[in-house]
Structure 1
Amino acid sequence: MSRADTRPSPSALRSLIAPGIAALVCLAILLGLGLWQLARKGEKEALIARIVERSRAEPPAAPPAFDAWNPGADEFRRVRATGTFLHNKEALVHGLAPGEPGRALQGFYVLTPLKRDDGSIILVNRGLVPTELKDPKSRAAGQVTGETTVTGMLRGSEVRTLFVPESDPARDQWYTRDIAAITAARGLTNVAPYLIEADATENPGGWPRGGNLRVDLPNNHLQYAFTWFGIAACLVGVFSVFAWRRLHDPVEPDAP
């Protein structure tokens, strides 16, 4: 009576070459993605630190010259500007803001042009008003007249994402804080390529309510890195079981 040969056969070894190469390529890609996410984590942490430092600067700086605006260096910088609000040119942008714990306040962001002494204009996001206060007459106390000073953070135009409706200037329906489109619809010239997100300084009557900008950017890169490394570990485990079975399957001796 003959016994099955349990030694790996040359054909079994050869059959692992192609799967082994494919597994090594996939493993290298997965490990590379994991290491890339770790590098991105460091970059994001450095960016958050810079943003937080800019947002807390004291005293607030003057807004940059319009032709010197550099989003990478200037965005989220804390600034102070003085001028007169053009309330008749304000635009209402659909939005949400943190309200009571676990709830969001739905309404409109009030974007009002601030005309400075030199005639230049900076769009100011004064904050959110609830839907029932959409009409300026219902929040007349907050329509500040005369020269006023605004403190806040610089932002560029808001980029529309996939799930945000497109604004309709003809119907005066705005869903993003699009500086160029809003100021063009209002017939304004000599306008800054940035806007000021007003801080939480209370307006007369309590509305609009500013201070809604958050500078704590999401940083999930460590989680993503663990995901890629976990998939890599699964790949090693699966291939190891596959290879062990392929090499240890009994090989029947050739018939006499």
Structure 2
Amino acid sequence: MYRFLLSRQWVITTVVALALVPVMIKLGFWQLHRHEQRVARNDQVARSLAADPVPVGELTAPGRAVPKKDVWRTVTAHGTYDRQGEVVVRMRTGNDGSQGYFVLTPLVQADGTAVLVNRGWVPAGGPQTTYPDVPPAPAGTVTVTGRLRADEQPGQGVKDTRGLPPRQVMLINSERQAAQLHRPVLGGYLELAEAPAGRQPQPVAAPDHSSIGPHMAYAVQWWLFSAFVPVGWIILVRRERRERAAAAAGETTAAAAAPAGA
């Protein structure tokens, strides 16, 4: 009755079905892990943003990478902006999605070390071969408050392009800027949460830590697909059996109705 399952077509169909089930289950768990990572990331960002501000020197130092647990922590820094060491970071978007630059200005502290401060976003407005119109950093000694960020590295969605115009970079990286500034620079950088009074770059919006994304829904979909495969295989087998049985019955009826000796 089910000997047709030994045919080449059905053997291939069965093997493919058996292979799809574990693959889909694995894809479901992959999406589940991405969901868990997103939730953990949201929790970490929320804790960091809610923590009391601390001096930036407590969480980082020259040549030291910012620990993942300290990223997004609110930090303070006290010093004088080095306007001559200021650069702009290309291909960055504003809060409305417009293309432009981040303004990266070193803040020199009393001990001579500097911390890179992302003062915010400015529109492109002109040829990318020229320095954009950037509001000057506040003069004199200032105290700034912002979010601590880790250094950007090539391969993180940002191209490290050589041969750029003067005072333009593609990455925010403390080690590279330290080589240009000829002074020690704290690892990572500070992202201003609020702009000072007057004409200043647009502050970067706080990170979204409320959305969990579609990963859990995708996980459930993959697991449902894995359940549908054997169900679909059984439906196809039963349909094939009915069709073969009907064909065999039709042949029997036709043979019985044929004239003797025909």
Q: Secondary structure at the match of 1:50?
A: helix
Moved more, 83-92 or 169-178: 169-178
Equivalent pair of 2:56/2:75 in contact (CA under 8 Å): yes
Number of aligned pairs?
Answer: 237
Q: Secondary structure at the match of 2:187?
A: strand
RMSD: 3.0
2:186 corresponds to which letter in structure 1?
A: A
Partner of 1:50: 44
**Deviation of 1:210 (Å):** 1.7
User: More relative contact order in 1 or in 2 (CA 8 Å, sep 6+)?
Assistant: 1
Q: What runs of 5+ residues in structure 1 fail to find an aligned partner?
A: 1-7
Asked whether 1:74 is paired with 2:70, we answer yes
Distance 1:71-1:219 versus aligned 2 partners, 3 A rule: farther
Partner of 2:123: 130
- For residues 1-256 of structure 1, what are the structure 2 equivalents within 5 Å? 8-9=1-2, 11-15=3-7, 16=10, 19-63=13-57, 64-66=59-61, 69-94=65-90, 95-99=92-96, 104-132=97-125, 134-136=132-134, 139-140=135-136, 143-160=137-154, 164-168=158-162, 170-172=164-166, 173-184=168-179, 186-200=180-194, 202-216=195-209, 219-248=213-242, 249-250=244-245, 252=248
Partner of 1:4: none
**TM-score of the aligned structures, taking structure 1 as reference length:** 0.77
Distance 1:145-1:188 versus aligned 2 partners, 3 A rule: same
Equivalent pair of 1:52/1:215 in contact (CA under 8 Å): no
Q: Which runs of 4+ in 1 moved over 6 A?
A: none
Cα distance in 2 for partners of 1:24, 1:89 equals 62
Equivalent pair of 2:94/2:204 in contact (CA under 8 Å): no
Equivalent pair of 2:112/2:183 in contact (CA under 8 Å): no
Residue by residue over 1:36-73, the C-alpha shift from the partner in whole angstroms, topping out at 9 and shown as x without a partner, is 32243233212211111101212445432426644322
Q: Secondary structure at the match of 2:238?
A: helix
Q: What runs of 5+ residues in structure 2 fail to find an aligned partner?
A: 126-130, 256-262
Q: Secondary structure at the match of 1:44?
A: helix
Residue by residue over 1:131-190, the C-alpha shift from the partner in whole angstroms, topping out at 9 and shown as x without a partner, is 349234xx34xx211211111111112345687554335523323323333443x33331
**Deviation of 1:20 (Å):** 3.1
Cα distance in 1 for partners of 2:115, 2:105 equals 8
**Deviation of 1:17 (Å):** 5.6
**TM-score of the aligned structures, taking structure 2 as reference length:** 0.76
